[in-house]
Amino acid sequence: MRLLHTKKLTLETPTGVRPYAILSHRWLADREEISFQDLQHMQVPPSEGSHDSHAELTFPSNVQGKKGFAKFRGACDHASRAGLEYIWIDTCCIDKTSSAELSEAINSMHAWYQDSAVCYVYLHDVGGDGNLQSALENADWFQRGWTLQELIAPDNVYFFNKDWIKIGSKATFAPILNKITRIRQDILLGNPCKPSIAEKMSWAAGRKTQKIEDRAYSLMGLFGIHMPIIYGEGDKAFRRLQLEIMKSSDDQTIFAWHDSLAHPNSVRNRGLLASAPDVFSWASPVVTIDHSHFINSLLRIAGSRSSFRDLPRGYSILNDGIHITLPMKKVGDAWLAVLRCKREDQEFPYGIYLKERPGCKDFLRTSPTKLQKLESADLEGLAPRTIRIVVDHHILPTINRRQFFTFQSIDSVWEHCGYYVCPKPGSRHDVGQGGGYQVLDPDTRIELSDNMQCGCVYSQGPYGEVTVLLIGIEHHRPWVHLLTNADLYRYVDTSRLCRRTVYDGPILMSSPTSTQSSNQTDLLSPLALSSPTSPQSNSNSPSALSSPRSLSLSPASARTNNHGFPKRHSTAPYAVQLRGGSTGCPVCSIIQNYSINTHDIKNRRVDFVIETMSDKQIEVDIRKGQVRISEAALEVDYVITVAVSVPEPEF
């Protein structure tokens, strides 16, 4: 343990046991605190004279100018005046560039505070004026995760306001601290008391830490737990903490949690362990029930011949879950399981609801917003049952997975798109079996099933040229395939697509109620100006929609273009071998007539395509979008982006 000399202001590692002060405070920004590295850049050794006279000579001006310097000096001054030669300050006594040293410090932090001669709590936002109790209730120090163990572990805790004036101690403030922190006064005063796991967790409810992992790491000392520090593991740290606690305790209050209705995961099935300390928030403590008393309570209701006499006290944790024997009974489509714990003011224990996973022998916690306060009638009909419960709250039951495609373009474009979903590529079915042709709206989500369905998104340019994008899912991985052949118009219905003239005029639309209007539109449209092989508009087609669409391809230059693109070959291989059109499914027709090897495409799962043509270059990529989780389904969106570039003319 590295300590700071209160007069020399140098870091030392004293031999033997030396009394020391310790500082608890709300951190400023890292660059404003005095760090371990700052103490390595003292300009001159400290003098043998007055402690205060050499401060200006000890540190560079950039260190003395930090906001945390006054706090640093104030803590050292108070410790020195109290006759303490050393003090420990977390900002500067740990070399945080060393992951090994940081891990050791975090695992030892509770013991260091517990072994200190005195702990100084510096409240930077509490002044000397106004109502002291109100100021304490609003102090930021009480909202932080790490300060919980810093309040409980030391025997002697003194509070200072922002001017380093002592305003009280843990003992004198015990009633106020109880109101602020929900920690019982007996515990604050150090009286013999053994709080349950759930009660300790409740103290941490609502507290914040800079890193999500620290919500778990800051509680290790309170539970006497040591475990590796793995920043980056996220909320898995809190799961690891609970598993470590359970290795040395049979306290079932660790299962006595409930989500609030506002919790994002409150409506779905969960594992047995809690997701965060916040779900242990209680108005009064949750206590464990003595095992013999618990069994006697069950026997009074179930009868003396009940098998509850042999109810095991503990449980085991294996790699497939928690193996435990609980009093249970069927309630609707769920199971009520009785826990050996209750609230301090309750007569009967708590119960939770479990649900058996279909096709499995394990259980999940269901209805996590319910922690049932049981009555005598609820204990009737119970029987001990040994079960396995899923541990990880991230593990979902087997649910329906739904996959959707959405589209976007990064260009300022005008073109509209259509799409068609083929229910079974290669089966040569009628187009109506795929739901027919659809217009792609901005909010369209095209749903495709895994390994089966194939979608076809198509767009028409100003000269009637058609671009087709085949999309699909293989083992939860999306794939895309781009086609730009000249005769693709033969396989898709472009009559619904709204088109703009090459002269950048207004959008021209067909009207289903006026044949004359429709014919005039076709005469004025780019299709009438294109080559004889281009398709003609269908005067009997439904009305084109005038709102912007999600996916569009930028128009090629209206003038003849012989500009060069980078010589890159298409990543969408296909055989240009026309075998004639078809009035059936467009996807099946395109796959057959262009000899597309769908098996190869699915295996390669292409997620990025570049197609270079004489007058433009098309780029298509795909990424995962929003993920929605509910009890009924897991919905995953995939976003396809299409970008078309037209080269600058060469002079």
4: pLDDT strictly greater than 60: yes
Residue 209 belongs to a domain: no
pLDDT-derived band at 381 (thresholds 50, 70, 90) equals very high
Angle at CA of residue 521, ends 517 and 527, nearest 5°:
155
318 and 426 together in one domain: no
How much of the chain, in percent, has pLDDT values that exceed 70?
78
Residue 319: pLDDT band by 50, 70, 90 thresholds? confident
Residue 245 makes CB contacts below 8 A (sequence gap 6+) with 197, 223, 225, 254
Structural domain of residue 99, as residue ranges?
1-193
The lowest-confidence range among 347-351, 465-469, 645-649 is 645-649
Q: Using the predicted structure, report yes or no on whether residue 414 has a pLDDT greater than 60.
A: no
Tokens for 492, please give them.
């898709």
Task: Find, among 393, 191, 205, the residue nearest to 286 by Cα.
Answer: 205
Picking from 451, 452, 547, the residue whose alpha carbon sits closest to that of residue 496 is 547
Say which residue, 173 or 502, is predicted with more confidence. Answer: 173
| Long-range contacts at 521-529 (CB < 8 A, ≥ 24 apart) | 525/499, 525/501, 526/461, 526/462, 526/463, 526/464, 526/499, 526/500, 526/501, 526/502, 527/463, 527/464, 527/499, 529/463, 529/502
pLDDT at 431: 67
Would you say residue 84 has pLDDT above 50?
yes
Taking only the tens place, the pLDDT of each residue in 202-234 is 999 999 999 999 999 999 999 999 999 999 999
Residues 12 and 119 reside in one and the same domain: yes
pLDDT band at 301 (very low <50, low <70, confident <90, very high): confident
Task: Name every residue whose Cβ is closer than 8 Å to that of residue 40 and which is 6 or more positions away in sequence.
Answer: none
The distance of Cα 215 from the centroid of its chain, to the nearest Å, equals: 15
Does 519 fall in a domain? yes
Distance between CA atoms of 468 and 460, rounded to whole angstroms? 9
Boundary residue ending a domain (389, 421, 443): 389
Asked whether residue 490 falls in the same domain as residue 369, the answer is no
pLDDT classification of 560: cutoffs 50, 70, 90: very low
CA distances from 508 to 16, 466, 498 (A): 90, 18, 7
Extract the tokens encoding 535: 């398709």
Structure token pair of residue 461? 């340019």
Identify the domain boundary among 126, 158, 193. Answer: 193
Q: Token pair for residue 312? A: 């095991």
Pick the residue with more confidence: 497 or 606? 606
Predicted local distance difference test score (pLDDT) of residue 58: 67
Verify that 105 and 156 share a domain, yes or no: yes
Q: What is the pLDDT of residues 585-605, one digit of tens each?
A: 888 888 888 888 888 888 888
User: Are 638 and 448 a contacting pair, CB within 8 Å?
Assistant: no
pLDDT at 539: 37
On whether both 576 and 492 belong to a single domain, the answer is yes
Nearest in space to 406 (alpha carbons), one of 498, 471, 484, 474: 471
Residue 230 in domain: no
Whether 560 is in a domain gets the answer yes
- pLDDT, tens digit (0-9, with 9 covering 90-100), for 15-61: 888 899 999 999 988 789 999 999 887 655 544 444 444 444 468 88
Please check whether residues 405 and 385 belong to one and the same domain.
no
Given a contact cutoff of 8 angstroms between Cβ atoms, the answer to whether 276 and 235 are in contact is yes
Helix (H, G, I), strand (E, B) or coil at 444: coil
pLDDT at 396 over 70: no
Question: Do 421 and 457 have their domain in common?
Answer: yes
- The pTM of the full predicted model, rounded to 2 decimals, is 0.67
Tokens 């690891």 belong to: 240
Asked whether residue 506 carries a pLDDT value surpassing 90, the answer given is: no
Q: Longest C-alpha distance within the chain, in Å?
A: 104
On whether residue 234 sits in a domain, the answer given is no
Banded model confidence at residue 162, pLDDT cuts 50, 70, 90: very high
pLDDT at 30: 78
What local confidence, expressed as pLDDT, does residue 462 receive?
73
Residue 436 pLDDT > 80, yes or no? Answer: no
Report which of 206, 94, 109 is spatially closest to residue 149, judged by C-alpha positions: 109
**pLDDT given at position 227:** 96
Is residue 431, in this structure, part of any structural domain at all? yes
Report the pLDDT averaged over residues 451-462: 81
Residues 178 and 298 in one domain: no
Nearest one of 174, 341, 198, 395 to 280, comparing CA atoms: 198
CA–CA distance, 502 with 644 (Å, rounded to integer): 17
Which of 153, 173, 193 lies at the terminal end of a domain, its last residue? 193
157, 290: one domain: no
Q: Is residue 437 part of a domain?
A: yes
- Say how far apart CA 20 and CA 3 lie, in whole Å: 8
Same domain, 384 and 411: no
Summary mean pLDDT of the chain = 80
Alpha carbon 160 to its chain's center: 38
Instruction: Provide the edge-to-edge strand list for the sheet that holds 157-160.
Output: 11-12, 3-5, 86-88, 20-25, 118-122, 157-160, 166-169
Count: domains in the chain: 3
Q: How far apart are CA 608 and CA 482, in angstroms?
A: 10
Same domain assignment for residues 482 and 512: yes
Most confident of 63-67, 120-124, 468-472: 120-124
Q: Is residue 92 part of a domain?
A: yes
What would the mean pLDDT of 137-166 be, rounded to a whole number? 97
pLDDT given at position 498: 60
Pairing of strands 372-373, 417-422: unpaired
| 344 in the same domain as 480 | no
pLDDT of 479 strictly over 80: yes
> If you average pLDDT over residues 623-648, what whole number do you get?
83
Residue 500, pLDDT score: 43
Q: Is the pLDDT of residue 421 over 60?
A: yes
pLDDT of residue 360: 79
